[in-house]
Amino acid sequence: MSKKFLSTAALAAVLMTSTSVLAQEAAPAAAIDPAQYTQAVDSILANAKFEAAVKHMDDTYDQLLAEFEELTEIPSGPFMEEKISARYAELLTAAGLTDVKVDEEGNSIGLWKGTAGDGKFLVVSAHLDTVFPEGTDVNIQWKGTEAHAPGVRDDKMSTAILLAYARAMKEAGIQTKDDILFVGTVGEEGPGDLRGVRYLFNEGEYKDKIKGFFSVEGGSAGSATVGGTGSVRYRVHFKGPGGHSFGAFGLVNPAYALADFMTTFSQIQVPANPKTTHSVGILDGGTSVNSIPFAVSAEIDMRSNDPSELDKVHERMKVIADQAVANENARRSVAEGPITVELEQIGLRPAGQTTEDTDIFQMTKAAFQATVGDFKGEGFGSTDSNIPMSLGIPALTIGANSGIGGRGHSLDEWLETAKDKTLPNMRATLAVVLANAGMANE
């Protein structure tokens, strides 16, 4: 059996949620005192420059919508981000950011220079890519203030909102203590396997220089994804000698081995809490209806909010694959060769979590409670935040758009873009960013 995967021990090490040195440093020495965070947020909300920034976003909302439409209509499916990365870099420059570049993986990065930076950066990001393949019609169809097109909610509005933040901060004369990196990431969706943010943290210029991370995704302000759901994905290949469906009948058949594998794989028992799942997503193989296939494959996805539960499913999957091979080779003739299986790992999203005792959690909670009156900080998901969370770097995924929309990852995805529905959420999330970056109180 040919296998391309991490060992169980290695995978567990990768997926294990660690306690960050940065998170430990960020945590208060004693019990959490909410007052310190509330006071910091209140000082920002009372600052005339903050309200000037909000007014600027209000006055220039049509520009935000124009950039949202432009970015939506640039095709940017998996590994198709070159054009949008280049354009986003131009827009970051126009928004007043410095040191703008497209890194080697395709992330577009612009720097907001703080007044007392410590050599570490706060990242505010949104992903540029979508799930939609080449040839997809991505032109927006407007129905009043509703935008209908693939990617509008996930995550093109967020990319435009980040530009509006940078412009408003500059025009209002806002200063922050920390340096901020505004980043349009690539490869967040599906087969991209978080390659943009993975590069940012593990290989890029800012490796080991990021102390906090926000991913701005579809949805309204007031909630946060605090946990990264881990996932492992494989392409499972069953191979055999093949032959004529009639003349070679009786020989082993990789399609039957695959069916055996899928049936047993589907029966793996998993806990409801922590949520753990498995699925077969894509099937491929065969040459003709009257031929025993010589190769068939399935792409499978396994996920869990708990690394140990994910590891259990992962290990069970490997046993099932071996057993499916043994079963088919025992049932039919191997005179022309046996069935074999190859497990090709095609995705690994590590798990992690940002805990309540971190500054980023508490400051974000205080900012959302002060602006939209609510904070839900219990969510898990698979987002760009998985990577920093898995490295122990405090990270949250938050929303800033209207929160009204639906049909994500479908051709009829839609988003309500009315200013009166969106601007309050933009205001709230801008307060989150400035509170975490240390807005100067002038």
The gap between the terminal CA atoms of the chain, to the nearest Å, is: 67
Return d(Cα 439, Cα 442) in angstroms, integer.
Answer: 9
Report which residue type is found at 35: A
pLDDT at residue 27 is higher than 80: no
Query: What percent of the chain stands above pLDDT 90?
Result: 90
Domains 32-229+351-437 and 230-347 share a fold: no
pLDDT tier for residue 441 given thresholds of 50, 70 and 90: confident
pLDDT at residue 16 is higher than 50: no
DSSP 176: B
DSSP codes joined into one string, 56-98: HHHHTHHHHHHHHHHHHTS---TT--HHHHHHHHHHHHHTT-E
Distance, CA of 57 to chain centre: 26
Distance, CA of 374 to chain centre: 23
Class for domain 230-347, per CATH?
alpha beta
Coil, helix or strand for 6? coil
Burial class (CB in 10 A: 0-12, 13-18, 19+), 387: buried
Domain ranges of the chain: 32-229+351-437, 230-347
Report which residue type is found at 79: F
pLDDT single digits (tens) 94-139: 999 999 999 999 999 999 999 998 999 999 999 999 999 999 999 9
Burial class (CB in 10 A: 0-12, 13-18, 19+), 234: buried
Q: What is the mean pLDDT of residues 146-171?
A: 98
Give the DSSP H or E segment for 192.
Answer: none
Q: How far is CA 271 from CA 13, 234, 310, 364, in A?
A: 21, 21, 10, 31
Q: Quick one: CATH architecture of 32-229+351-437?
A: 3-Layer(aba) Sandwich (3.40)
DSSP 287: S
What mean pLDDT, rounded, does the chain reach? 93
Say which residue the tokens 């909410």 belong to: 34
